[in-house]
């Protein structure tokens, strides 16, 4: 990996932890304008960040529930295994 690409990937990662300085943003965006692989990496990292951030806030997901009969069958199977 080229040194410039390593710096760009580090800045991309850092941007999730803190606000980049204006000079860091200029360096990152200038590099992204020229490097297709780093643009792709940056894009994919943002997608993963959005997905995993959404997992932390999972109130919008329906709660999983198991019918009582299924619970009883599972408990019975566990008791037989012991």
17 pLDDT higher than 70: yes
Q: How far apart are CA 53 and CA 69, in angstroms?
A: 35
pLDDT of residue 55: 65
Q: What is the mean pLDDT of the chain?
A: 86
pLDDT at 57: 61
Q: Which two tokens stand for residue 58?
A: 């999972």
pLDDT at 26 over 90: yes
What phi, psi does 19 have (nearest 5°)? -80, 125
d(CA 34, CA 20): 20
In 3D, which of 59, 40, 61, 81 has the Cα closest to residue 31?
A: 40
Report the predicted TM-score, pTM, of the whole model to 2 decimal places: 0.60
**Helix H or strand E segment including 79:** helix 68-81
Does residue 34 register a pLDDT over 80?
Answer: yes
């Amino acid at each position: 990996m080229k040194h410039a690409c390593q710096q760009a990937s580090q800045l991309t990662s850092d941007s999730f932890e803190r606000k980049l300085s204006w000079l860091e943003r200029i360096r990152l965006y200038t590099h992204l304008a020229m490097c297709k692989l780093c643009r792709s990496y940056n894009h994919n990292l943002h997608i993963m960040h959005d997905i995993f951030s959404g997992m932390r806030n999972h109130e919008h997901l329906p709660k999983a529930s198991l019918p009582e009969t299924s619970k009883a069958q599972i408990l019975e199977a566990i008791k037989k295994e012991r």
